[in-house]
Amino acid sequence: MVEISTTVGRLKLQNPTMLASGILGDSGDSLLRVARSGAGAVVTKSIGREPREGNPSPSLVELEHGLLNGIGLANPGIDNYRAEVEVALQGDVPVIGSVFAEDVEFYGPLARTMEVYGVQALELNLSCPHAEGLEEIAGDADLISQVTAEVKSAVKVPVFVKLSPNVRDIALLAQAAEEAGGDGIIAINTVKAMSILPEVAKPVLGQTMGGLSGPAIKPVGVRCVYQIYEAVDIPLVGVGGVANGLDAVEYIMAGARAVQIGSGIHYRGLEVFEAVCREIEAFMEEHGYRRLEEMVGIAHE
């Protein structure tokens, strides 16, 4: 019998899978469905200060090897989100509140409100590639440090910093988050990308550029986790292209203690969480691993 429970700092998970932010996180009911489908934790949609409609349609397109979205952080606003968190908390797995802001000074109050609503941890979205304001924060170590420190001073729950791959040195940014008191790193957010429809000679997305997720970005995510693992001592969560157990194992061997699944739901449905866990267990049994911990970062040895 193998053991796939894990910890991400102070957060204890029955299994290493999490729902990624931005997928089925609009409502408490959808978060609850995911929790009851086998996810070890769920992450809310990124919530801001005010309701936000997002970018013009079309805002999501399926490409050959992934999904391209330019949704633009559409959300109901923090004042309208309490009831959704309360419903999600009925799922008996940790609920992680994701927050974003166009200005650094607003992260602290947003995080504090999420904590009051009952979330067990915070995820700081500092890296959405199709939302105004966040691209500037994503590549600036000083701003990442400032946001992280402000949120840490405002809340008592663990604070995880979600980083962008669209930067020169992601490990340096992870170090900035760690030095400012961050409890963990989430890597990665979507890869900035675009697609053109040749028949009409126009970009597919209404906003022209968006974020690429799915199988195409998994090698990028694994590389980023590998680099960050060698640069920091705080725990990592891998994101990007996880749709089966071997995808998760790659991230874990690169240094992640858990993985988030988003686009994988598109390809395998809500069954993806239980399926990934079964496939991780099968791999561990075949290769002689008894605890998930034994695989974390083993690719560095």
Catalytic residues: 128
Q: What is the C-alpha to C-alpha distance for residues 129 and 106, in angstroms, rounded to an integer?
A: 19
Q: How many CB atoms neighbour CB 114 within 10 A?
A: 27
Residue whose structure tokens are 């995911």 = 34
* Contact assessment for residue 140 and residue 196, using Cβ atoms and an 8 Å cutoff: no
* Contact assessment for residue 41 and residue 94, using Cβ atoms and an 8 Å cutoff: yes
Closest among 63, 93, 60, 91 to 74, alpha carbons compared: 60
Q: Tell me the CA end-to-end span of the chain in Å, nearest whole number.
A: 25
